[in-house]
Amino acid sequence: MKLENKVAIVTGGSRGIGRAIVLQLASDGAKVIFTYQSSEQVANELAEEVKKNGGEAYCIKADASSFEEAQNVVNFALEKFGSVSILVNNAGATKDNLLLRMSESDFDSVINTNLKSVFNYTKAILKPFLGQRFGKIINISSVVAITGNAGQANYVAAKAGVIGLTKSNAKELASRNINVNAIAPGFIETDMTSKLTDLQKDAILVNVPLKKMGKPEDIAKLVSFLSSSDSDYITGQVIAVDGGMVM
């Protein structure tokens, strides 16, 4: 297995894309620590599913917007396994509204969950990564960070910030053999997109050359690749997984 003896931290790992990432990394041999915000039962069920499949996973309740809680998660991983090799910054939230109606608290909340969380976990993991002169950081952004999207100024700003952080951190950390890349998912079948009407989905697919929505597993497979030695010469990249929506 290509990730055997590797240890991964996945933020926001209990549902949707995060869940698929946890399952994929574990199936590829990694020991996985994943965080959740509110769905304790769902998180525990996922950890049990990994174990039943012969893997090893642990879930921790943590607020991704808190640096202190991010440091606690990293400390847990180090105490449990002695090292960490992979960080997947996946935690995210939306509070959509037109800018005219968007509250300051909704803007701040989405920025903190989607963008500050990447700073928190990356900073928390740096000391062990720098010490071992190795690490893989994969940040989950979005295609709307590239295209913009009406009614999502907070989310788009946060995800665009993730791209900026990815590129800056890749340049800072390359000399220490630490790869930093971002994935920009398009429209993926998750709880978030399940709320869309058929009419809304059809309107979206008009702009998707492959004429279908992606699956969480499409993202998870790329995360696995970027976590492995197969991607050792790739850093600072933003890879869209969007059916050709952005070219």
Domain that holds residue 173: 7-241
In a domain, 2, yes or no: no
pTM: 0.96
In a domain, 143, yes or no: yes
In a domain, 61, yes or no: yes
Which of the four pLDDT bands, split at 50, 70 and 90, describes residue 39? Answer: confident
Instruction: Determine the pLDDT at residue 191.
Output: 78
pLDDT tens digits, one per residue of 182-204 = 999 999 998 777 778 888 888 88
In a domain, 117, yes or no: yes
Instruction: Determine the pLDDT at residue 195.
Output: 77
Residue 155 annotated among the catalytic residues of the structure: yes
> What amino acid occupies position 216?
P
In a domain, 26, yes or no: yes
| Alpha helix positions (H), 38-184 | 40-52, 67-81, 104-111, 117-132, 144-147, 153-173
Question: Considering its fold, how many domains does the chain have in total?
Answer: 1
In a domain, 194, yes or no: yes
Q: Measured between alpha carbons, how far is 26 from 33 in angstroms, rounded to an integer? A: 10
Give me the residue label for tokens 């309107």. Answer: 203
In a domain, 1, yes or no: no
- Contact status, residue 223 vs residue 13, Cβ threshold 8 Å: no
- CATH assignment of the domain containing 60: 3.40.50.720
Average pLDDT over residues 46-69: 97
User: Of these residues, 58, 121, 155, 233, which one is catalytic?
Assistant: 155
Q: Measured between alpha carbons, how far is 79 from 73 in angstroms, rounded to an integer? A: 10
In a domain, 247, yes or no: no
